[in-house]
Chains A and B, each alone.
Chain A
Amino acid sequence: MVLSALMPLFLISSVDRLSDLNDQLLLLLNSAAGRSWLFDSLVAFFLDNDLAKAGVIGCCFLAAWYGGKSSNSTNARRKILITTLVAAVCVITTTKVLSKTIFLPRPEIQSQKIYRLDGDQLVEMKRMPVRFMLDEESQKSYHALLNGDVETNDLGSFPSDHAGFFIAISLGIWLASRRLGWLALGWTAIVILGGKMISAQHTPLDIAAGAGVAIVELSAIQYVLRKRFNGILERLTSLTLRYSALSSAIVFLVAFEVSSTMIHIRAFLGLLAAMRRHVLLGMG
Chain B
Amino acid sequence: MKKFVIVIASFGFIFLTSCKVQKEGIVIMTDHSYKATLLANNKIGIGSPDGLLWHKGKLYFADEGGVALESWNRTEGLKKLADASVGFLSPEDLVIDAQDNIFFTDDDAGGLWEYTADGKLREVAGKDKGLISTEGIAMAKDGSLLVGDGEQHEVFRVTRDGNVSEFLGKEAGITKPESMVFDDQGNLYIADNEDNVLYLLDANRKLHRIIDRNEAFSPETIYYSKGSLYITDSHNCKLYVYTPGEELKTIAAFGGQLKNVQGVTVDDQGNILLSVQSDLKHKVGNIIEISKEETQVAKK
Binding site for B on A (CB under 8 A): 98, 101-103, 105, 109, 112-117, 120-122, 124-125, 146-150, 152, 155, 158, 209, 212-213, 216-217, 219-220, 223
Contact = CB atoms under 8 A, between A and B. Distances in A.
Contacts of A98: 16, 19
B23 interface: yes
A105 B32 CA distance: 18
Given A146-B30, A216-B11, A216-B12, A115 B253 contact: no
A52 to B, nearest CB: 29
A223 B38 contact: no
Q: Identify whether the interface residues of A are mostly helix, strand, loop, or mixed.
A: mixed
Contacts of B259: 152
B116 interface: no
24 contacts: A98-B16, A102-B19, A102-B20, A103-B23, A112-B28, A112-B30, A114-B27, A114-B29, A115-B26, A115-B36, A117-B258, A121-B37, A122-B37, A146-B30, A148-B28, A148-B253, A149-B236, A150-B28, A152-B259, A213-B12, A216-B9, A219-B8, A220-B12, A223-B4
Contact of B30 (A125, A147, A219): A147
B5 interface: yes
A218 to B, nearest CB: 10
A147 B22 CA distance: 27
A125 B256 CA distance: 15
B157 interface: no
Interface string B1-27: 100110011011001100111111111
Given A103-B23, A155-B255, A220 B28 contact: no
B30 A122 contact: no
A116 B255 CA distance: 9
A117 B28 contact: no
Contacts of A158: 19
B144 interface: no
**Nearest 6 pairs of A and B residues by beta carbon:** A148-B253, A103-B24, A117-B25, A148-B30, A148-B250, A113-B29
Contacts of A223: 1, 4-5
B30 A117 contact: no
Contacts of A122: 27, 36-38, 288
Contacts of A150: 28, 237, 253, 255
Given A102-B21, A122-B288, A150-B255, A212 B15 contact: yes
Contact of A101 (B1, B21, B238, B255): B21
Nearest to A102: B19
A223 B6 CA distance: 12
A22 B191 CA distance: 45
Given A148-B238, A155-B255, A114 B1 contact: no
B94 to A, nearest CB: 26
A101 B21 CA distance: 6
Q: Identify whether the interface residues of B are mostly helix, strand, loop, or mixed.
A: mixed
Nearest to B1: A223
B187 interface: no
Given A112-B28, A112-B30, A115-B27, A149 B38 contact: no
A147 B250 contact: yes
Nearest to A156: B256
B120 interface: no
A4 to B, nearest CB: 18
Contact of A117 (B35, B43, B216, B257): B257
A116 B25 contact: yes
Contacts of A121: 37-38
A223 to B, nearest CB: 6
Contact of A113 (B22, B32, B41): B32
A115 B29 contact: yes
Given A98-B19, A148-B250, A155-B255, A120 B28 contact: no
A146 B30 CA distance: 6
A163 B15 CA distance: 16
B12 A152 contact: no
Contacts of A152: 255, 259
A30 B1 CA distance: 41
Given A102-B20, A220-B5, A109 B28 contact: yes
A149 B252 CA distance: 10
Contacts of B30: 112, 146-148
Contacts of B38: 117, 120-122
A216 B48 CA distance: 41
A116 B1 CA distance: 44
Contacts of B252: 148
Nearest to A125: B26
B167 to A, nearest CB: 28
Given A147-B250, A148-B238, A219-B8, A112 B29 contact: yes
Chain A CB within 10 A, most for which of B20, B25, B37: B25
Contact of B24 (A116, A147, A216, A217): A116
Interface string B28-52: 1110100111100101000000000
Interface string B225-256: 00000000000111000000000001011011
